[in-house]
Structure 1
Amino acid sequence: MSIQDLIAEFAGWIIFFIVLIVAYFTGSRDEKKHYASILAREDELRHIRVIPVKRPPRVFCDQHLVVGSVVVSSNAFTRFLAGFRNFFGGNVRSYESLLDRARREAILRMKAQAEEHGANLILNVKLETATLGNIHDPRQAAQNATVEVLAYGTAGKIIQKPKA
């Protein structure tokens, strides 16, 4: 058996691993870029506080409903690892990062909308998460795992009383 015969025999596997390696590096790069963007915007919007209380303080005025929504999808390498992990069981850490980025991005979009209204506080914040596609069904391992996170709350201003 010659080298050419071996390459022809394993061409499918070689292509599969090349695609997997490319997916790993591009997915890692994109995730790091997204986290850097999240950190920068979290720093910019730090002045808007997010508090999960239902009753506003007495000095809370100019109230608006604010919403932030995001849909984030996994890459091919993450899906491959998750399918492997689902086969053997256990915690799928690759999807934890996906959900973390989605939650933080939704909150940032909600804060950006609050900033447009001139708010400095968001009360009664709620997060809703929906999984688009079945990430736990091994028969659908090739399907794209996608999550949507919706963040919503009541934005407003706290009026500072003048000091006497």
Structure 2
Amino acid sequence: MYDLIIFLVLLTIGFTFGRIAEKRHFQSIIEREEELRDILTFSERLPPPGFSSARTELVSGNVVISIDYFKRIAAGLRGILGGRVTAYETLLERARREAILRMKEEARVFEATHIVNVKLETASITKGQHNQTGCVEVYAYGTALTPIKQEPEKS
């Protein structure tokens, strides 16, 4: 009986604090996406027309986000019943958006206006004897383009 009570308490705590943390993180992501919306990202390999004379720099962003207890339980139940595992989908969405934001923040240092050839790498970090997913890592990288300012010609 005590085991069930402890399980329910942990589940409630995990659900409550997990939701609060996730909501705060999404709000932070939305605010930073608004600040960095002027830096355009493309998966295209080549730069857009007009960037023949631009300074290039490799930029990247990396994030590791842990899976909370509630998400792990919800994913386990969904694994039994089948269907979409929305608990993990939101985790991956947060990680992907955060990694892209960190890449854009690095590009901002170089005064870049565009990032081309953007790639995303995803990995799960396992733990425990049953290789349960403990964290998810997303790595975003691309080529930042900074237009070269041309001096006006003197006559």
TM-score by length of 2: 0.88
- 8 Å Cα contact 1:27-1:75 kept in structure 2: yes
The structure with the largest alpha-carbon Rg is: 1
5+ residue gaps, structure 2: 151-155
Q: Percent identity?
A: 46
Higher relative helix content: 1
| Equivalent residue number for residue 96 of structure 2 | 103
Report how far residue 11 of structure 1 moved. Answer: 1.3
> For 1:68-107, what aligned pairs fall within 5 Å after superposition?
68-107=61-100
Given that 1:121 and 1:158 are in contact with CA atoms closer than 8 Å, whether structure 2 keeps it comes out as no
State the distance in 2 between where 1:62 and 1:124 align: 15
Equivalent position to 1:146, from 124, 129, 135 = 135
TM-score by length of 1: 0.83
- Deviation readout 1:98-155 (Å, 9 max, x if unpaired): 0000000000000000000110100010001111117xxxx838x4531110100000
Alignment pair present for 1:29 and 2:20:
yes
Cα separation, 2, equivalents of 1:44 and 1:90: 36
Aligned length: 148
Distance 1:132 1:14 in 2: 30
Selected match of 1:128 from 91, 116, 121: 121
- In angstroms, what is the RMSD of aligned CA positions? 2.0
